[in-house]
Structure 1
Amino acid sequence: MLHDNKMEVWINDVLVDEIAAFQAKIEFDKEDIDICGEMMTQHKITGYSGTGSMTLKKTNSRMIKLLANFMKDGLEPDVTIVGKLADPGNGGSERISISGVSFDDLTLFDFEVKSLGEVECPFTFTKYKFIDLI
């Protein structure tokens, strides 16, 4: 029996129903360490940063409404994103909240004739919290 996964993304407590893809990940900053007698370079994690991306079907002006007014005033909005993946066949769901979200760009137009438009929204974030884990 096949089960449908349920994926959701919420921006500041508002469901993003036009979501097509979502990714948030931690990228590690590493420093090389050379050790006498070892041919293989060792590595030490010295920090990390949060990066991610959303792909939205172009059905509304969500990102322009979220960012444009703040940009005019030289401000940055306070953004929190919650991603959820529920798999009934796996007995649970995973929800992770990321905050301190800062978008890398704002697409004003990107369209092609006879094609449903998509908007790519890359971002960085400064905090994360596990809400539910499978």
Structure 2
Amino acid sequence: MLDASRVIMGTYGQAYIDGVWQTHINKLEASVEIEKKELNLVGRDWKVHKNGAKKGSGTMSGYKVTSDMIQRGFSKFDIISKLDDPESFGHERVRLINCMPDKIQLANWSAGEEVQEETPFTFEGYELVDPIVGN
């Protein structure tokens, strides 16, 4: 039976860009899609699939505190996503390799409101650095 205390909360997530903790980031999403080539083979009544190219994409968002993303421009960087919860079976770190912004937010503000910054990006590989393993 599931021990509810082991469910991981995003509250303890951290994002590092090129090794520097981004304390202002409060949301990070990244996923990989794969192209599947659909094949029709003789003698089979099922279509089969061959793996094709992969595409990594994601979005990070949080509060605007520096001009770092503007200064970086469209240069590539690595992101390490760390998901940690004191009650979980451990922590998970995933390295996103060769991230590059799709767009850079130059201005997005309203009087009396916190300035939020969102950066969609693509990446060219990943590495599961620390997996979470249940007991």
Same fold (TM over 0.5): yes
Q: Structure 1: which 4+ aligned runs deviate by more than 6 Å?
A: 1-4
Q: What's the % identity of the aligned pairs?
A: 26
Structure 2: unaligned runs, 5 residues or longer: none
Distance (Å, rounded) in 2 between the aligned partners of 1:104 and 1:47: 19
- Which of 29, 32, 54 aligns to 1:26? It is 32
- Displacement after TM superposition at 1:105 (Å): 0.9
Give the structure 1 partner of residue 122 of structure 2.
124
Please list the CA deviations of residues 71-100 of structure 1 after superposition, one character each: whole Å capped at 9, or x if unmatched. xxxxx5341111100022122000011111
Give the structure 1 partner of residue 84 of structure 2.
86
Single out whichever of 41-50 and 6-15 deviates more from structure 2: 41-50
| 1:45-84 equivalent positions in 2, closer than 5 A | 45-67=51-73, 76-84=74-82
Distance (Å, rounded) in 1 between the aligned partners of 2:120 and 2:17: 14
Distance (Å, rounded) in 1 between the aligned partners of 2:37 and 2:113: 45
What root-mean-square deviation, in Å, do the aligned CA atoms of Structure 1 and Structure 2 show? Answer: 2.3
| 1:100-115 equivalent positions in 2, closer than 5 A | 100-115=98-113
- Displacement after TM superposition at 1:23 (Å): 1.0
Q: TM-score, length-normalised on structure 1?
A: 0.79
Q: Secondary structure at the match of 2:91?
A: strand
Give the structure 2 partner of residue 72 of structure 1.
none
Aligned residues: 125
Give the structure 2 partner of residue 73 of structure 1.
none
Single out whichever of 7-16 and 44-53 deviates more from structure 2: 44-53
Structure 1: unaligned runs, 5 residues or longer: 68-75
